[in-house]
């Protein structure tokens, strides 16, 4: 992708030819050139908590579980919501939609920090 972008911006190739030469989708390349999509952006929703906040939450949850006070998924979501409310100064709706998103957040939090020490 980077090579195709450079070739088009340098003027050495047109968009269609660069897409073909570098094996990238034409529409994706055109979106990057036009600025519609930012180079290096990731798909999916943006993070609600920073990695440091997630790590702090994970460590606290682990401590609670170790001393016999494990927290439920609803507790985790409530704590995340409260953290965001304190940070942004107003109520924040953390999850909208199906309950599977809550389960996915809970599982992703555990997965992201379980191998880190």
0.75 exceeded by the pTM?
no
pLDDT of residue 92: 55
pLDDT at 43 (0 to 100): 63
pLDDT for the residue numbered 63: 92
Burial of 22 (C-beta count, 10 Å sphere; 0-12/13-18/19+): middle
- Chain centroid to Cα 16, Å, comes to 31
Q: Where are the domains of the chain?
A: 2-34, 51-114
Ranges of the chain whose pLDDT falls below 70: 39-48, 88-110, 114-117
Angle between helices 2-10 and 26-34 (to 10 degrees): 60
């Amino acid at each position: 992708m980077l090579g195709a972008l450079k070739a088009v911006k340098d003027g050495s190739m047109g968009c269609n030819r660069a897409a073909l030469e570098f094996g990238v989708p034409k529409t994706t390349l055109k979106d990057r050139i036009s600025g519609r999509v930012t180079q290096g952006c990731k798909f999916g929703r943006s993070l609600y908590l920073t990695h440091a906040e997630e790590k702090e939450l994970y460590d606290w949850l682990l401590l609670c579980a170790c001393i016999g006070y494990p927290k439920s998924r609803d507790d985790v979501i409530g704590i995340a919501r409260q953290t965001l409310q304190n940070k942004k100064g107003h109520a924040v709706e953390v999850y909208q939609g199906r309950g599977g998103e809550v389960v996915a957040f809970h599982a992703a939090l555990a997965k992201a920090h379980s191998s880190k020490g």
